[in-house]
Structure 1
């Protein structure tokens, strides 16, 4: 709390934007909920546009955790209003960097000498700027091209303020979804974001995921350069590529979209279902591509947000995914029940909506999803939620859900007619066949302690 009041202006400015934004939507929700009055599409569009622009201005000005939230929203082209997606997509790579003199001072403090003495060459203009830091290209004295990510000096204080606001917002948003424990999600995200401030931890996970994905063809993870890595600076080899969502450059490089989607899904299926260790922040700014003689290569960047799943939980995740692929409702319910999502009493109540979800949505593409009656589906889901004790979201699944959400948005942006579920099916089945996953869930020996999350 003491840090928060060092920047009272930040706290007040966030509230000045977020409170009116919240009540804009609350008013429309209440009109429908309490009086049964629908809102015309043009009114919704105006509210979306005004709210998205206000949030974008706030995030760019305040930086910190607000940009992280905006990046997640901007990737959900399949479910978010286009006004929000268009406005917040600028947060992926249009955030203004800090001046070079500020960054040079930070580098000198962290590395013990001015950067021009340590590197053969370093570019003063940032190649990317994000919520917690910015990236500069440099050349080592041995000729290797590297990327230097430098953390902003005041980011810890800003993040503490943002997390306080998010914590205050949790009970407000729980009014809309009273039986979903948003506090669990908040606690996991809080742990993830605060851990992301330690770049030494990020370096460890960069090495780990790089080793794990070494057997997956056409996937690149940068290598850490230890000599120039500290708690607030991380140095990695540089990947010469472009954002995965840049359609013009993909076409010029002769990269096939479906092939790219398959490689991306294979990389994440391997992390989810084989390794149990995954980068949980796959927004477009962290996914680069380039053409090659043997096909396109995908580079995964930024391992500040990594999740390590407990072994037992990972097995349940594999079994739930395989049951979904096979439309095995009983198997799916058994797996999610063992995860602790539903109580035994609630299983039969939830079964009809799960069955309908399997029947209606299994083969849908993102384009198809936009054509379904969302209000009808929401009412059916709400009718089930109203009758059960509550949906518990285990902390181990929060960042997994976040990664799936971001990945789905990226795939929808690449080709809205591709069904990522069907593309992933053979990869998930392959994971099930591995000896460590093949045994039935009944052989699990209870819950394992939760692994640390890094985000």
Structure 2
């Protein structure tokens, strides 16, 4: 890297850190002033400011903010509401810049690999942008090209994330964030490796091969590098756009069933979960009822015992068995589980498992109160503070996010489904050793890094 480039990189990182640390630190100070000094502040206005600052950045701090907004009480409510609405809105790279970067990834004659290549970005994301292209055999593909200098951007963002989480932890110790941070940091660093994402895309294609309602792109390995991912193009559009057209209950139920299978077939049969249920990561298909599952950068592989713990906790909630509940939390990796702490954790577990316990067609949430979930989270949060806080294991982070994120989508769909039947269809005949064997073979065949 030339000295001038290093200087520009360093300057950009310092400028970025100054912008984010000033916003985060200032807001944290105002929250602390209200909490400890009784100084009333307009947190909604501060949250709008933070949203504006983070939304203008190109790096993954915006993605982390979206993530944290789905974890109940990881952020103050006003901030969570604003950050949840953040979208990937980075300014696109111009054609001259794209052409140079494509040359860096595929060589000076890269354009000969395609019959057509769209000069304008078809979509933007937090780490890169997508271009439509057509190969010489007529295959339509999507080329996701990473923005420049993302490793230093990610590290700068992670430093700001640690600062923000440490500041909030000093104000509220209900949830100890150390392992949450480590999990987020590892997943974000993995997302920068598009060859890894290609292998994880192959993994999902294999795991969902027999799930007809879910479609997964196929990577084009010869046109994929660490910073360029070429994959088959799937036709689809935003689920929010489709919902605005008031589809029938039958169609909405079909989307709900497809999403349930997309997330939980991999989880209960292979011990793998897609860690980002953000609305931009799936589309509804033109044939109605099916979905496209996209963006395989944030994938979590669980040890078989962790999956056993999820089934054990379901049985504990169903049967009111405290000993079994204690065992399930131990399988998940929680430490120092007292009776009081377990009672608090079970309040959240009952909320999440409740739709699965009733063998009937129903909404995912039957309360007429739109803030019902938030109120349950607040009760759990208050309980955690009362018992001295909890340190969630790393594995819990993406699992909880998937449950909360998908639940919010099912609420939007107003789907009426027998969730009990969907769950039991997947876990029937479960054996830990069978999952372990399927997982090992699937990871190996897909070439996922780190697989045995």
TM-score (norm 2): 0.81
TM-superposition CA deviations, 1:231-270 (whole Å, max 9, x none): 1100110011101222357647997212211210122111
- Find the counterpart in structure 1 of residue 217 from structure 2: 222
- Find the counterpart in structure 1 of residue 359 from structure 2: none
C-alpha spacing 1:223/1:315, structure 2 compared with 1 (3 Å): same
- Find the counterpart in structure 2 of residue 47 from structure 1: 43
Matched, 1:136 2:131: yes
- Find the counterpart in structure 2 of residue 7 from structure 1: 13
- Find the counterpart in structure 2 of residue 320 from structure 1: 313
Structure 1 residue 131: deviation in Å? 1.1
Structure 1 residue 71: deviation in Å? 3.1
Residues 62 and 86, structure 2, Cα contact 8 Å, conserved in 1: no
Structure 1 residue 103: deviation in Å? 1.6
Matched, 1:341 2:334: yes
Aligned positions of 1:376-455 closer than 5 A = 378=378, 381-383=381-383, 385-387=385-387, 390-415=389-414, 423-437=418-432
C-alpha spacing 1:85/1:431, structure 2 compared with 1 (3 Å): same
- Find the counterpart in structure 2 of residue 190 from structure 1: 185
Residues 262 and 293, structure 2, Cα contact 8 Å, conserved in 1: no
- Mapped to 1, the partners of 2:322 and 2:426 lie a distance apart of 20
- Find the counterpart in structure 2 of residue 365 from structure 1: 365
Q: Secondary structure at the match of 1:89?
A: coil
- Find the counterpart in structure 2 of residue 299 from structure 1: 292
- Mapped to 1, the partners of 2:145 and 2:34 lie a distance apart of 43
- Find the counterpart in structure 1 of residue 85 from structure 2: 89
Residues 271 and 277, structure 1, Cα contact 8 Å, conserved in 2: yes
- Mapped to 1, the partners of 2:114 and 2:257 lie a distance apart of 38
C-alpha spacing 1:114/1:259, structure 2 compared with 1 (3 Å): same
Structure 1 residue 355: deviation in Å? 5.9
- Find the counterpart in structure 2 of residue 448 from structure 1: none
RMSD of aligned alpha carbons:
3.6
Residues 150 and 233, structure 1, Cα contact 8 Å, conserved in 2: yes
C-alpha spacing 1:423/1:82, structure 2 compared with 1 (3 Å): farther
Aligned positions of 1:132-281 closer than 5 A = 132-248=127-243, 251=246, 256-281=251-276
C-alpha spacing 1:125/1:395, structure 2 compared with 1 (3 Å): same
Structure 1 residue 170: deviation in Å? 2.8
Residues 174 and 381, structure 2, Cα contact 8 Å, conserved in 1: no
- Mapped to 1, the partners of 2:225 and 2:449 lie a distance apart of 21
- Mapped to 2, the partners of 1:453 and 1:15 lie a distance apart of 35
Instruction: Report how many aligned residue pairs link the two structures.
Output: 421
TM-score (norm 1): 0.80
C-alpha spacing 1:229/1:172, structure 2 compared with 1 (3 Å): same
Residues 77 and 409, structure 1, Cα contact 8 Å, conserved in 2: no
- Find the counterpart in structure 2 of residue 332 from structure 1: 325
- Mapped to 2, the partners of 1:63 and 1:453 lie a distance apart of 29
Q: Secondary structure at the match of 1:174?
A: helix
TM-superposition CA deviations, 1:9-28 (whole Å, max 9, x none): 11111112112222333344
Q: 2:285 aligns with which of 286, 290, 294?
A: 290
Is the deviation greater in 7-16 or in 184-193?
A: 7-16
Structure 1 residue 335: deviation in Å? 0.7
C-alpha spacing 1:74/1:143, structure 2 compared with 1 (3 Å): farther
TM-superposition CA deviations, 1:324-344 (whole Å, max 9, x none): 456655433331133232525
Residues 282 and 403, structure 1, Cα contact 8 Å, conserved in 2: yes
- Runs of 5+ unmatched residues, structure 1: 440-450
Q: Where do 4+ consecutive residues of structure 1 move more than 4 Å?
A: 2-6, 73-88, 248-255, 325-330, 354-361, 366-369, 371-377, 451-454
